[in-house]
Chain A
Amino acid sequence: MPPVTPRLGSPLGSSRKPLEVLVADDDVLLREFISLQVEELGCRVSTAEDGQQACDALDAGAFDVLITDWQMPGMDGTQLIERLRARPPSDSYLYIILVTSRAAERTIREGLQAGADDFMYKPLDQLQLELALASARRIVDLQQRLSRRNMHLSRAHSRVRDAYRRIRSDLQAAAVTQRELLPHPSLTGAPLRHTSIFIPSMEISGDTLGVDQLDEGRWMFFHVDVSGHGVPAALSSVSAHHQLSMLRPMQNIDLPRGIASLNDQLYRRPGDVYATMICGVADMRSGRIEFVRAGHPLPLVVPARGEPHFLEAGGPPVGLLPQANFPVTEVSLAPGDRLLLYSDGVTECTSPEGEEFGEDRLALAAGDLRAEALEAFVNGLRARLLAHRGSTTFEDDVSVLVIERA
């Protein structure tokens, strides 16, 4: 038995859904001939007697292919194609074949311009139809695959967008909660004034700070920077904030012991999370401040008169080493003197040229601004930092705590 050669586009060559074909021709004989041939190629056929009927049929049903004659009463083939191509784009593509005479070069160009995909020339024969419908099949299949892929991409995009909105909304809520932990500035009180700068690199920060009054003349303060940034650092910073706040009810805060205990807890936790911090007690009756510096950037003393200077004593960060010691540093503030604590996000903040803000620039700024009232002093520092950065976004969390003896 000889092998069966399937016709192009026939169901023998494919198990796909048959093409829906609309044949528009005012010549009944030609219309019937085309319909019969197209049906034999495994397609489903509908017919229209002129351009208007074709438009109505296309409005009413879904077709893959239109085979239209050029010359028809009323709307001719080219006008029909122009009108169809002017319709709003839809998900499915209508492949249009214009039937004309081979000699009608101008008509062919006009048809191409109007949006015809292919041409068949009279006298029609079966091979022309097979070739044209095979091309149509490929384009229609390709368009359907693209359409399905676009639909999947669109759904995936929508899911990602929803997830992003949800995460962003959660982060914003978390940021509000985190800011509520921060102390309200005290700019005109006595004997202690304080204020801060707090700029997370993402919505939430691995930095935190606190100022709590212990009794009439004493305050506890802390400034913490958890390594890394983003959500893990922020969660650890909130935890550290809570644990440092728990030191407050102690009658006489044992700073080295409190920080060593925090060190042991953080060291035992899995992962490489650690924190640098300064935690201290300020007695504003005498101006004496005792604090522990655990790996934190060097605190800057900004005297009301005299040059700013850094205090270098301290111990290692919290959570890096087992059984570390945290020595206490003492400093005295005269009225009007300030103590400035900051995270490494300040000194490591780079300019567009890649130059770090650095300790020298920080000390210079503090010296230039020291005659300003506390609020203007901190606003001036912020402005210098932003000017150096050349942007309002930072790679690392930025925070500053300034304490002033009134």
Chain B
Amino acid sequence: MAEFSKSGDVLVVQLTEPRLDAARAPALKAALTQNVQDKPDRIVVDAQGLDFMDSTGLGVIVSLLKMMGANGKLGIVCGEGSVRKLLKITKLDQIVRPFGTLDDAVSALGR
């Protein structure tokens, strides 16, 4: 479902499945709850392998904001496909910043 690693002070959550929908969202939510416990300030979700995300999946990604510190910054690596489009339509691209590559995301969010 997801792999967790650190790049400097940024927590990287790599999504490992091509779909994030109502059927898969609870498992991701559980993995996030278990692995994101120390209120990190910087998280990048690597969603480059994600082909489809529905509203439930989006809800889980945004729920990361509630798990972060008060000044937490959340980024997502998602190319130009449907995930970025969904973020744009929902105006969440202002809160969950989209990036083209993981390096860009980590260097933009890292301190």
Contact = CB atoms under 8 A, between A and B. Distances in A.
**A and B bind:** yes
Contacts of A315: 91
B30 interface: no
A111 interface: no
Interface stretch (A67-75, A116-124, A225-233): A225-233
Given A272-B29, A276-B55, A396-B54, A229 B22 contact: yes
A384 B58 CA distance: 28
Interface stretch (A27-35, A55-63, A125-133, A316-324): A316-324
Interface stretch (B40-48, B59-67, B100-108): B59-67
A344 interface: yes
Interface residues of B, number: 18
B90 A227 contact: no
B59 A227 contact: yes
Interface of B: 22, 29, 54-56, 58-60, 62-63, 65, 82, 89-92, 94-95
B95 A344 contact: no
B60 A272 contact: yes
A227 B89 contact: no
Contacts of B95: 316, 321
- For the complex, would chain B's binding face be called helix, strand, loop or mixed by DSSP majority? helix
A321 B72 CA distance: 13
Interface in A310-338: 314-317, 320-321
Among B60, B65, B91, chain A packs the most CB atoms within 10 A around the CB of: B91
27 contacts: A227-B56, A227-B58, A228-B55, A228-B59, A272-B59, A272-B63, A273-B59, A274-B59, A274-B62, A295-B89, A295-B90, A295-B91, A314-B91, A315-B91, A316-B90, A316-B94, A317-B90, A317-B92, A320-B59, A320-B92, A321-B62, A321-B65, A321-B95, A344-B54, A344-B55, A348-B54, A356-B82
Contacts of B59: 227-228, 272-274, 320
A297 interface: yes
A298 interface: yes
Interface string A221-242: 0000101110000000000000
From B58, B89, B95, name the one whose CB has the most chain A CB atoms within 10 angstroms: B89
Given A272-B29, A272-B60, A320-B62, A295 B92 contact: yes
Interface residues of A, number: 21
Nearest to A206: B55
Main secondary structure of the interface of A (DSSP, over half): loop
Nearest to B94: A316
Interface of A: 225, 227-229, 272-274, 276, 295, 297-298, 314-317, 320-321, 344, 348, 356, 396
Nearest to B93: A316
A393 to B, nearest CB: 15
Q: With a 10 A CB-CB cut-off, give which of A298, A315, A348 has the most chain B CB atoms.
A: A348
Nearest to A347: B89
A225 B92 CA distance: 16
B91 A316 contact: yes
Contact of A276 (B63, B65, B82, B90): B90
A295 B91 CA distance: 6
A125 B16 CA distance: 72
Contacts of A225: 55
A228 B91 contact: no
A175 to B, nearest CB: 19
Nearest to A272: B59
Contact of B56 (A228, A295, A348, A356): A228
B62 to A, nearest CB: 5
